[in-house]
Structure 1
Amino acid sequence: MILMRGHSDKGHRWHQEIDLPLAITLVREHAAIVVNRRTIKRLYSNKDFRAYILARDNYICYFCGAFGDTIDHLLPRAKGGHTTPDNCVCACTLCNQTKADRSVEDFMGRM
């Protein structure tokens, strides 16, 4: 087991144990950094992560190009996706709700 630590939106410290494959994914997808052999540190609080993704994507929906103010997972969490910068994009509310837990290919094929 690996210890993951971070800060909440209110600045409180937290930690939890996670398995090694998840720790590797979080580091590889730029959501965490390695502190030492047994510890990783989450880079963003939930609020900071949301602000980062929206600013990175210029508030433009990844799917339709309209104004976006929500975050969508390219590989849905229900299908094993993680909340990482590589797996999340800005989306408008309509696209986010319509896509739900479908793959990007399936969703884009129906647009």
Structure 2
Amino acid sequence: MRQVLLLNATFEPLTTLSLRRAIVLVLREKADVIHRDRRGAVLRSASRTMDVPSVIRLRRYVRIPYRSRIPLTRAALMRRDDYRCAYCGQRAETIDHVIPRSRGGTHTWENCVASCMSCNHRKADKLLEELGWTLRVTPVVPRGAHWRLIGAHLAGDPQWAPYLEEAAA
């Protein structure tokens, strides 16, 4: 399903939403179309014709509650590690706990990394010191408003780029 980027009244990216939800917001005059679909797609009804939006902006400012930590999800972790194994650098398919949960490790950003199946199975419930392995990068908590937009860089429209880059800065 086609996704639309939703901006706050201040042009801050909030989230992506379905085309259907975006059309409802525009028709109810709660949002304005900022960019139309680059392919020129049009929606028609018996009484109206409307360009398919790619980016919409809310007419009224919506306050976003401050969230001290970004939620740890599989998609966010893979994005943080650029879909690369933290041990060998190959394409990652799974999540691994640096300090295994069976040994008291926690399910936190600082203890989880993306891993390929091979490394994940070889590591099993061992510590890195036992295997003589090192991490390519130190796992950290991601920062920035753009982390609310998980997947936007993957399935997004090129017209979203200026808004996502601004949020990342």
The TM-score range, normalised by the shorter chain, is 0.5 to 0.7
Of all paired residues, the percent bearing the same amino acid is 42
Higher strand proportion: 1
- TM-score, normalised with respect to structure 2: 0.36
Structure 1 unaligned spans of 5+ = 1-31, 34-41
In structure 2, the partner of 1:9 is none
Structure 2 unaligned spans of 5+ = 1-66, 134-169
Q: Which runs of 4+ in 1 moved over 6 A?
A: none
C-alpha separation in 2, matches of 1:63 and 1:80: 21
In structure 2, the partner of 1:10 is none
Confirm whether residue 51 of structure 1 aligns to residue 78 of structure 2: no
Confirm whether residue 76 of structure 1 aligns to residue 90 of structure 2: no
- TM-score, normalised with respect to structure 1: 0.54
Q: How much has 1:64 moved relative to structure 2?
A: 0.6
Confirm whether residue 105 of structure 1 aligns to residue 129 of structure 2: yes
Confirm whether residue 63 of structure 1 aligns to residue 105 of structure 2: no
Q: How much has 1:43 moved relative to structure 2?
A: 5.3
C-alpha separation in 2, matches of 1:55 and 1:105: 26
C-alpha separation in 1, matches of 2:129 and 2:122: 13
Bigger radius of gyration among the two? 2
Matched length: 67
8 A Cα contact 1:63 1:108, kept in partner? no
